Amino acid sequence: MKKHVRVDASKAYRALEQNPYRPWAARITSITPLTEKETLFEFRIIDHEVREHFNFNAGQFMELSIFGVGEAPISISSAPSKKGFIELCVRNSGTVTGALHEMSCGDVVGLRGPFGRGFPFQDMKGHDVLLVAGGLGIAPLKSLINHIHDERQAFGTVTILLGARNPDEILFRQQFDMWRHREDFNLIMTVDTPDETWDGEVGLVTRLFDQIEVDPANTIGVICGPPVMYRFVIEKMREKNLPVDRIFMSFERRMKCGIGQCNHCAVGHQYACIDGPVFNYWEAMNLQEAM
Amino acid sequence: MFFRVLKKDQIPTFIEGLAVDYEVIAPIAKGLAYVFAPVTCGARVVLDYPTTIVPPTAYFLKPKEALLRYNSADGEVVETVKDDRKRILFGVHPCDLNAILMTDKVFLGDYEDPYYKARRESTLIVGVSCTPRQSCVCHMFGANEVLQGYDLYLTDIGDAYFVQCSSVEGAQLLDTLVETREATAEDTRALQKHVARFRQTLGEAPDTTQIPLLFDARYDEELWEEIGSRCLSCGACSAVCPTCYCFDIVDELDANGVTGSRVRCWDSCLNSQFAEVAGGHDFRPTRASRVRHRFYHKFWAYPARYGKTMCVGCGRCYTACKVGINPSRVVAALQGDVGEGEA
Ligand SMILES: Cc1cc2nc3c(=O)[nH]c(=O)nc-3n(C[C@H](O)[C@H](O)[C@H](O)COP(=O)(O)OP(=O)(O)OC[C@H]3O[C@@H](n4cnc5c(N)ncnc54)[C@H](O)[C@@H]3O)c2cc1C
Ligand code: SF4
Ligand code: SF4
Angle formed at CA B93 by CA B87 and CA B98, multiple of 5 degrees: 85
Residue-level pLDDT at B342: 65
Residue-level pLDDT at B191: 92
The whole-angstrom separation of Cα B68 and Cα B78 is 6
Residue-level pLDDT at B252: 94
In the predicted model, what is the mean pLDDT of chain B? 90
Q: Are residues A109 and A128 in the same domain?
A: no
- Which residue among B135, B229, B233 is best mutated to probe the pocket of ligand 3, counting the most ligand atoms within 8 A of its Cβ? B233
Ligand 3 pocket (Cβ < 6 Å) reads B 231-237, 270, 291, 320-323, 325
The whole-angstrom separation of Cα B274 and Cα B279 is 14
pLDDT band of residue B207 (cuts 50, 70, 90) is: confident
Least confident residue range of A8-12, A156-160, A281-285, B312-316 = A8-12
Q: Which of A35, A38, A36 is nearest to A74 (CA)?
A: A38
Q: Are residues A249 and A136 in the same domain?
A: yes
Residue-level pLDDT at A2: 65
Domain boundary among A115, A144, A163: A115
Domain boundary among A58, A88, A115: A115
Residue A281 in domain: yes
Q: Are residues A263 and A153 in the same domain?
A: yes
Mean pLDDT of A98-110: 94
Q: Are residues A93 and A186 in the same domain?
A: no
Q: Are residues A88 and A57 in the same domain?
A: yes
Query: What is the interface pTM, i.e. ipTM, of the complex?
Result: 0.87
Q: Are residues A184 and A84 in the same domain?
A: no
This prediction has a pTM of: 0.91
Q: How far is the CA of B210 from the centre of ligand 2 (A)?
A: 19
Least confident residue range of A51-65, A157-171, B51-65, B68-82 = B68-82
Least confident residue range of A82-96, A145-159, B69-83, B160-174 = B69-83
Q: Counting one residue from A and one from B, how many pairs have CB atoms under 8 Å apart?
A: 122
By C-alpha distance, the chain A residue nearest B297 is A269
Q: Whose CA is nearest to atom 4 of ligand 3?
A: B234
Q: Is the CB of B242 under 6 A from ligand 2?
A: yes
More confident residue, A3 or B62: B62
CATH code at A102? Answer: 2.40.30.10
Mean pLDDT of A51-55: 88
Q: Are residues A61 and A185 in the same domain?
A: no
CATH code at A280? Answer: 3.40.50.80
Mean pLDDT of B51-76: 91
| pLDDT per position as a tens digit, A169-203 | 889 888 888 888 888 889 999 999 988 888 888 88
Structural domains in chain A (count)? 2
By C-alpha distance, the chain A residue nearest B285 is A289
Residue-level pLDDT at B291: 87
Name the pairing type of β-strands A278-280 and A247-250. antiparallel
By C-alpha distance, the chain A residue nearest B78 is A22
Q: Are residues A129 and A44 in the same domain?
A: no
Domain boundary among A90, A115, A140: A115
Could you tell me the residue range of the domain that residue A194 belongs to?
A: 121-285
- Percentage, residues of chain B above pLDDT 90: 60
Mean pLDDT of B337-342: 66
Residue A6 in domain: no
Mean pLDDT of B266-291: 82
**Which residues, 6 or more positions from A85, have their beta carbon under 8 angstroms from its beta carbon?**
A29, A42, A43, A44, A78
Which is it for the CA torsion B230, B339, B297, A252, positive or negative? negative
Q: Are residues A101 and A196 in the same domain?
A: no
**Which residues, 6 or more positions from B306, have their beta carbon under 8 angstroms from its beta carbon?**
B102, B105, B106
- Measured in angstroms, the CA of A124 and the nearest CA of chain B are apart by 27
DSSP state of B40: S
- Domain range annotation of chain B: 2-61+82-202, 211-342
How many other C-beta atoms can be found within 10 angstroms of the C-beta atom of residue A168? 14
Q: Are residues A196 and A219 in the same domain?
A: yes
Residue-level pLDDT at B228: 86
Residue-level pLDDT at A21: 92
Q: Is A181 exposed, middle or buried (0-12, 13-18, 19+ CB in 10 A)?
A: exposed
- Which residue among B135, B231, B246, B266 is best mutated to probe the pocket of ligand 3, counting the most ligand atoms within 8 A of its Cβ? B231
In the predicted model, what is the mean pLDDT of chain A? 90
Residue A1 in domain: no
| pLDDT per position as a tens digit, A260-281 | 899 988 888 889 898 989 999 9
A270 touches chain B (CB under 8 A): yes
Q: Are residues A100 and A189 in the same domain?
A: no
Q: Are residues A80 and A161 in the same domain?
A: no
Give the distance, in angstroms, between the CA of residue B342 and the centroid of all CA atoms in the same chain.
Answer: 26
Q: How far is the CA of B123 from the centre of ligand 3 (A)?
A: 32
Q: Whose CA is nearest to atom 6 of ligand 2?
A: B241
Angle formed at CA B73 by CA B69 and CA B78, multiple of 5 degrees: 25
Do the chains contact at A67 and B251, CB–CB below 8 Å?
yes
Residue A258 in domain: yes
- Measured in angstroms, the CA of B128 and the nearest CA of chain A are apart by 29
In sequence order, the β-bridge partners of residue A90 are A39
Q: Is the CB of A226 under 6 A from ligand 1?
A: no
Residue-level pLDDT at B43: 92
pLDDT band of residue A4 (cuts 50, 70, 90) is: low
A19 touches chain B (CB under 8 A): yes
